């Protein structure tokens, strides 16, 4: 997902040639039933998962059974999807707040009911999960120019993805979970980038009651998390973090009773 580039490094008052890893980025044009839907600027990894996740989040498919065939030609930046039913391209496009000006066709959340999920996690378990995410995110460690995301079961990471776009990384989580048959409901969604409202909406779509970021949230994502019943957590650093909404899912275990002699 990264390639080494020769550049000039200025340090100590002088220039020196240096090779450093740089994140790869390229266009992926997605065609559905022969019609061009969108061109995504992305990192060339897990592209099948990216396409499936994007289609699922946009409401174009509800499951893998809606896809007749999927062909991705990475070198050509081309993905061809054949659905089992007719397809009419959406007319409404919304530019997201993500890097590169992403596109979504729907932000329908006003009629969504609040998530009813009684699961809980030990708040201290989030720190090793974030640390594990940075260990697994190889391209992030190499270049620091990429976003990473993960799906966790509360104890370990189940899926890890990386992409130059924050939204793409979440799309890949959804798509890989569908392709591998991994349930997302009740899981924890982690990300290295800022949690915007559209990313929070994707967490709600997957049924992940807890969404965690190493960085900040936005006012719209906080309001949305409160309304949809999601626990939104940000600024996970060291041994602390901020809880923006629904802290009731974070439960410290009760100490064992002391037996008297």
Q: DSSP alpha helices (H): ranges in the chain?
A: 47-57, 126-136, 138-143, 166-180, 197-206, 219-228
Section 29-47 average pLDDT: 95
Query: Is the torsion defined by CA of 164, 201, 243, 128 positive or negative?
Result: negative
Label residue 112 by pLDDT band (50, 70, 90).
Answer: low
Are 174 and 184 contacting, i.e. CB atoms less than 8 angstroms apart? Answer: yes
What pLDDT is stored for residue 103 in this prediction? Answer: 58
Domain boundary among 104, 135, 163: 104
Label residue 74 by pLDDT band (50, 70, 90).
Answer: very high
Hey, what are 201's tokens? 């909406």
Hey, what are 157's tokens? 């990471």
Section 10-28 average pLDDT: 93
Within-domain flag for 254: no
pLDDT score of 40 more than 50? yes
Per DSSP, the residues of 188-212 read: EEEESS-B-HHHHHHHHHHT-SEEE
Q: How far is CA 32 from the centre of its chain?
A: 23
Residues 6+ apart with CB under 8 A from 17: 6, 7, 8, 9
Host domain of residue 45: 26-104
Nearest to 187 by CA among 142, 148, 230, 224: 230
Same domain, 74 and 159: no
pLDDT score of 96 more than 60? no
Hey, what are 240's tokens? 């602390």
Label residue 88 by pLDDT band (50, 70, 90).
Answer: confident
Same domain, 89 and 135: no
Within-domain flag for 134: yes
Within-domain flag for 153: yes
Domain boundary among 104, 139, 156: 104
Q: For helices 197-206 and 166-180, what crossing angle results, to 10°?
A: 10
Q: Catalytic one among 83, 99, 115, 179?
A: 99
Q: How far is CA 186 from the centre of its chain?
A: 16
Section 34-57 average pLDDT: 96
Within-domain flag for 59: yes
pLDDT in tens, 201-210: 999 999 999 9
Are 235 and 121 contacting, i.e. CB atoms less than 8 angstroms apart? Answer: no
Within-domain flag for 218: yes
Q: How far is CA 251 from the centre of its chain?
A: 25
pLDDT in tens, 128-187: 999 999 899 887 777 777 999 999 998 899 999 999 999 999 999 999 999 999 999 999
pLDDT in tens, 220-242: 999 999 999 999 999 999 899 99
| The pairing of beta strand 240-245 with beta strand 231-237 | antiparallel
pLDDT score of 259 more than 90? no
Q: How many CB atoms lie within 10 A of CB 203?
A: 30
pLDDT score of 27 more than 70? yes
Q: In the annotation, is 99 catalytic?
A: yes
Section 72-85 average pLDDT: 96
Helices (H) and strands (E) in the chain, counts: 6, 14
pLDDT score of 192 more than 50? yes
Domain boundary among 73, 104, 135: 104
Average pLDDT taken over every residue of the chain: 89
């Amino acid at each position: 997902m990264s390639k080494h580039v020769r550049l000039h490094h200025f340090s100590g008052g002088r220039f020196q040639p240096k090779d450093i890893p740089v994140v790869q980025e390229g266009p992926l044009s997605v065609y559905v039933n022969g019609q061009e839907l969108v061109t995504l600027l992305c990192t060339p990894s897990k592209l099948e998962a990216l396409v499936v996740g994007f289609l699922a989040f946009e409401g174009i498919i509800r499951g893998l059974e809606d896809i007749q065939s999927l062909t991705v030609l990475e070198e050509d930046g081309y993905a061809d999807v054949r659905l089992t039913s007719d397809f009419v391209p959406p007319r409404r496009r919304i530019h997201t707040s993500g890097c590169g000006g992403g596109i979504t066709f729907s932000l329908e959340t006003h009629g969504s009911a609040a998530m009813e999920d009684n699961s809980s996690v030990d708040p201290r378990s989030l720190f090793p999960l974030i640390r594990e995410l940075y260990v697994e995110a190889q391209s992030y460690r190499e270049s620091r120019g990429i976003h990473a995301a993960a799906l966790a079961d509360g104890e370990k990471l189940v899926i890890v993805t990386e992409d130059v776009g924050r939204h793409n990384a979440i799309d890949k989580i959804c798509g890989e979970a569908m392709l591998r048959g991994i349930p997302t409901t009740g899981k924890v969604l982690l990300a290295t980038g800022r949690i915007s409202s559209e990313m929070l909406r994707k967490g709600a779509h997957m049924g992940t009651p807890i969404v965690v970021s190493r960085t900040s949230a936005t006012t719209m994502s906080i309001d949305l998390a409160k309304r949809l019943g999601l626990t939104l957590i940000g600024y996970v650093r060291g041994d602390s973090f901020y809880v923006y909404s629904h802290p009731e899912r974070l439960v410290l275990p009760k100490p064992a009773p002391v037996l008297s002699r």
